[in-house]
């Protein structure tokens, strides 16, 4: 039995039976007396378990009474994790930290991290955890950080299911306006955060960049509730963060990657519903849905001359116009 499972078993036996003798614990756990003594001491000193030895009962019980309800307020969170799973949690924490611009999420996770450190134990366990955190490096380029105050208020409105009043900068029009919205979900996409919400000004779902919110106030009014399936259907149908152009039809783009980059392109996920096929010359063809072509054009341009837009013609024209406009910025050398 693994160490964490054995500790959990000790508490479960005491909780279920009210009191358990040392001999019974040895029989149930199939360990040596020295190991059992170390486990009981670890539960008391490291995890705060209120376990006492009752001489009259000749057994161990929870402090506060001899009944099965004694120690009911005491829990051992995390004891169902083994050591490898605890290290995995630390890895997840490091990854989450890369998404957390001002450390807001990290601060809320600190009690959990402290508990993980206790469960790993002192000495080598804590040292290994520290080494792990240093050896995981996340590089986030072009990140748009969100002020913690804004993130906290948006999160509070989302979790309490209340409306949010916000002053929002619409970058495409360089306009600042007031919006009252009902938050539906938070989305992290390409190193920044977005809010999918029902906008009461236009009576429709809209996606808002959190770094464009200049001021936010949680209102004392209940948010309009929408099924998450409805939100996903409206906001996730097309390509990228511009998936929800009002009234725009869903279209399918066909891209063909040259053989030199086909091996990488075939392993990339541009969209969950994409379809791909190989050609005899080693090139790779990718089909994917989109509604608004803004972000798709930008991503195609990043591939340079190693990709060609085969369809639809309107998308091919947009890419061609962008390439020609870029080329005009670089006159031929004299």
| CATH at residue 22 | 1.10.10.10
- 81 has pLDDT over 60: no
Indicate the pLDDT class of residue 67, thresholds 50, 70 and 90. Answer: very low
- pLDDT band for position 44 (cuts 50, 70, 90): confident
Compute the mean pLDDT over every residue in the chain, rounded to the nearest whole number: 82
- pLDDT beyond 70 at 116: no
- Name the more confident of 274 and 48: 274
Domain span at residue 297? 251-328
Domain count, the chain: 4
Phi, psi of 222 (to 5 degrees): -65, 145
Domain membership of residue 271 (yes or no) is: yes
Cβ atoms 158, 183 nearer than 8 A: yes
- 68 pLDDT exceeds 50? no
Categorize the per-residue pLDDT at 109 as very low, low, confident or very high, splitting at 50, 70 and 90. Answer: low
Contact 211, 200 (CB under 8 A): no
- Residue 65 has what pLDDT? 52
The reply to whether 199 falls in a domain is: yes
Asked whether residue 69 is assigned to any structural domain, the reply reads: no
Residue 333 covered by a domain = no
215 within some domain: yes
Secondary structure of the chain in HEC code, one letter for each residue: CCHHHHHHHHHHHHHHHCCECHHHHHHHHCCCHHHHHHHHHHHHHCCCCCEEEECCCCEEEECCCCCCCCCCCCCCCCCCCCHHHHHHHHHHHHHHHHHCCCCHHHHHHHHHHHHHHHHHCCCHHHHHHHHHHHHCCCCCCCCCCCCHHHHHHHHHHHHHCEEEEEEEEECCCCEEEEEEEEEEEEEEECCEEEEEEEECCCCEEEEEEHHHEEEEEEEEEECCCCCHHHHHHHHCCCCHHHCCCCCCCCEEEEEEECHHHHHHHCCCCCCCCCEEEECCCCCEEEEEEECCCHHHHHHHHHCHHHEEEEECHHHHHHHHHHHHHHHHCCCCCC
Residue 103: CA atoms inside 13 Å, Cβ hemisphere, count? Answer: 2
- Residue 92: its pLDDT value, please? 65
Residue range 298-312: mean pLDDT, rounded: 94
Point out the domain boundary residue: 176, 194, 227. 227
Q: Look at residue 111 and tell me if it is in a domain.
A: yes
The verdict on residue 194 lying in a domain is yes
- Residue predicted with more confidence, 202 or 12: 202
Q: Give the best-scoring range by mean pLDDT among 24-28, 135-139, 310-314.
A: 310-314
Q: Quick one: 39 and 93 in the same domain?
A: no
268 and 321 part of one domain: yes
Domain match, 223 and 156 both: yes
Residue 85 near residue 122 (C-beta atoms within 8 A): no
78 in any annotated domain? no
In this prediction, residues 120-143 reach a mean pLDDT of: 62
Confidence of residue 333 (pLDDT cuts 50, 70, 90): confident
Are residues 266 and 206 both part of a single domain? no
Indicate the residue among 172, 193, 227 that finishes a domain: 227
3 pLDDT exceeds 90? no
Q: Specify whether 131 is located in the same domain as 162.
A: no
Edge-to-edge strands, sheet with 175-189: 204-209, 192-199, 175-189, 162-170, 213-222
């Amino acid at each position: 039995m693994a160490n964490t499972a054995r500790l959990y078993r000790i508490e479960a036996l005491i909780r279920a039976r009210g009191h358990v003798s040392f001999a019974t614990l040895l029989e149930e756990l199939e360990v040596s007396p020295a190991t059992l003594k170390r486990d009981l001491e670890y539960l008391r000193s490291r995890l705060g378990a209120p376990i006492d030895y009752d001489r009259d009962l000749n057994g161990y019980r929870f402090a506060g009474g001899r009944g099965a309800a004694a120690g009911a307020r005491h829990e051992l969170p995390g004891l169902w994790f083994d050591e490898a799973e605890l290290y995995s949690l630390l890895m997840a924490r490091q990854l989450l930290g890369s998404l957390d611009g001002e450390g807001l999420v990290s601060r809320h996770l600190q009690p959990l991290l402290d508990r993980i450190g206790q469960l790993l134990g002192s000495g080598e366990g804590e040292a290994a955890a520290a080494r792990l955190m240093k050896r995981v490096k996340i590089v986030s380029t072009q990140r748009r950080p969100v002020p913690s105050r804004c993130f906290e208020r948006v999160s509070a409105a989302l979790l309490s299911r209340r409306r949010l009043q916000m002053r929002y900068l619409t970058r495409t029009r360089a306009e600042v306006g007031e919006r009252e919205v009902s938050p539906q979900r938070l989305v992290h996409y390409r190193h920044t955060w977005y809010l999918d919400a029902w906008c009461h000004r236009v009576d429709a779902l809209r996606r808002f960049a959190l770094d464009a919110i200049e001021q936010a106030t949680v209102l004392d009014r209940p948010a309009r509730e929408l099924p998450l399936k409805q939100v996903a259907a409206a906001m996730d149908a097309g390509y990228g963060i511009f998936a929800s152009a009002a009234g725009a039809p869903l279209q399918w783009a066909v891209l063909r990657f040259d053989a030199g980059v086909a091996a990488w392109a075939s392993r990339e996920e541009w969209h969950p519903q994409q379809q791909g096929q190989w050609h005899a010359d080693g090139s790779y063809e990718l089909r994917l849905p989109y509604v608004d072509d803004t972000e798709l054009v930008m991503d195609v341009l990043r591939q340079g001359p190693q990709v060609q837009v085969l369809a639809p013609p309107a998308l091919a024209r947009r890419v061609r116009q962008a390439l020609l406009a870029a080329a005009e910025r670089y006159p031929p050398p004299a």
